[in-house]
Copies of this chain bind each other. A is one copy, B any other.
Amino acid sequence: MSAIRLLVLGAIRQRGRAHGYQVRSDLEAWGAHEWSTAKPGSIYHALRQMAKQGLLRAHDIEPSPAGPPRVEYELTGEGDAEFLRLLRTALSRHDQKIDELTAAVGFLDSLPREEAIALLKERVTALDGWRAEVARHWTPDDADPGDWEPITEIMRLWTHFSASGAEWTRGLIQRLERGTHREDAEPAPSGSTNR
């Protein structure tokens, strides 16, 4: 579902309550319109859809004089659960696009440090496993000529990217373990949003 739901849920979560344009401009402030496919249409659509599905609660705001129907949203319990589910998935699975991974890193502080580390270790394992599997399909001995030849280059591409992805992940794990990365995410102190 691309990264949009994660981004939208995360944006609303950080504000507690927000209407469409606020979400949109927060995402823009994070540069999300550059590294993800977050356009107005997708954002408003996601808001309505998630409200319909019970992930968001919608509050109609009385429009000052005569304006377009203004709506503020906040997360329901399910919405919060869905946010965490998406975040965990994005961190631990290797088959995620760069936009989901970027968004997930941006929300890393929403998880307890221990859990973030565990998820990232899963990610490393997944990447290593995938690389092994790719390599198995490739063993030069079955270089049966007549075979689709560029396959070799594709394998190299993937091997390279998964190794590189694992390396980055290990780096982040280390920074988290050393506390170089800020330790945040108090379990759930009633009304937080300290910035």
A128 within 8 A of B: no
CB-nearest residue of chain B to A182: B149
Contact B172 A168 (CB under 8 A): no
Q: Assess A106 versus B30: contact at CB under 8 Å? Given A98-B161, A195-B146.
A: no
Instruction: In the complex, identify which listed stretch (A54-62, A69-77, A80-88, A152-160) lies at the interface while the others stay far away.
Output: A152-160
Q: Which residues of B contact A164 (CB under 8 A)?
A: 160-161, 164
Number of interface residues of A (CB under 8 A): 33
Q: How many copies does the complex hold?
A: 2
How does the 8 Å CB contact mask read for A103-132 relative to B, with 1 for contact and 0 for none? 001111100000000000000000000000
A181 within 8 A of B: yes
Query: What's the dominant secondary structure at chain A's contact region?
Result: helix
A106 to B30, CA, bound (A): 34
Contact B150 A109 (CB under 8 A): yes
A33 within 8 A of B: no
Q: Assess A150 versus B98: contact at CB under 8 Å? Given A157-B168, A168-B160, A168-B161.
A: no
CB-nearest residue of chain B to A26: B148
Contact B161 A108 (CB under 8 A): no
Contact B182 A102 (CB under 8 A): no
Contact A148 B30 (CB under 8 A): yes
Measured CB to CB, the residues of A under 8 A from B are 29-30, 35, 97-98, 101-102, 105-109, 146, 148-151, 153-154, 156-158, 160-161, 164, 167-168, 171-172, 175, 181-182, 195
8 interchain residue pairs of minimum CB distance: A164-B164, A160-B168, A106-B150, A105-B153, A105-B154, A108-B150, A102-B154, A105-B157
Other A-B pairs, 12, CB within 8 Å; known A97-B97, A156-B168, A157-B168: A29-B148, A102-B154, A102-B158, A106-B150, A106-B153, A106-B154, A107-B150, A108-B150, A146-B195, A153-B181, A156-B172, A161-B168
